[in-house]
Structure 1
């Protein structure tokens, strides 16, 4: 989907549906297979599969201890896939335009800028993590669970340092609030079809089966 407005709205709607009901999660998964280019998403967002595996582990523990783990795993896995699709489709500046379109040149611009900076931080953290892994491999070490804590500490410190530098730079340049942005959106036929399908999935997920047959007749 090229239109960030429809993409974000569909992602929010589908995530809500997937989280609410298991049937909704199944329908959302079908939507994801049809409209999201699954192989490209999983190839670009490599953290999606490990995240699903981690969720599946906690789901197994939940299933063994109290039940409901299968439903939890299925719903959360679909939400992760939707989030991965939204992140994979992102283009620089889209959320700044979306925020300005929704909230105007003051609050909307600020919210959009915060979203852009957050995504930029995620990209930089991913790049830092890749460099950490390469450095450890060059030293002859092995990447494992024990490496997560020190690597996480480095990533957090680096992110906080960059945030402090960015805030200082904005203050030096005299930024106070708001800004000018003229967002441009491109809406394709596929975007419209995917958006309509997301709305239909929402209706079907929350419509009782008996009501569906009544409407059919």
Structure 2
């Protein structure tokens, strides 16, 4: 499973079309050699190492906080909005993202009705599987965040897509609030895993989380 973590540091640019084709070509060669039972020589080992680096770079694309920028594919859902006064409103729409802030917008009486995180206790959708995904306002009321995994380090996104690749918050202890992804928070969470800690100290936050969650 691939993750894209949002952070503020400058990262590798998205893979160009040429690099993608090269990656696919290299993978094809490797699979053919493997199918024929040929042991990978030095050249193939170098190809595999390059592939690993490119895949890690691709996973790290868009590691920018949603409060700054970033494009996220959005789907329509039947959101139920629970306002602070207890009033509820349900309707099908897409999450709107504008300059790092999210809101819901519904067509109503020839115009639009908008709901912002600061106006709500929570919003939620009911998935086809029958479970509920709840989004609660972040500190600063810039967006809602939804838990999108149940790993040891739980991940959260600004969109209600289970196992989404767009992650902006994490949580280890359910007694504490989710926190933004940054080096300090990840180092604190992976202290009991030397391999994950080593990567976190090198600012390889994505890799550290995957290692800790036994997904790398």
Task: Answer yes or no: same fold by TM over 0.5.
Answer: no
TM-score (norm: length of structure 2): 0.27
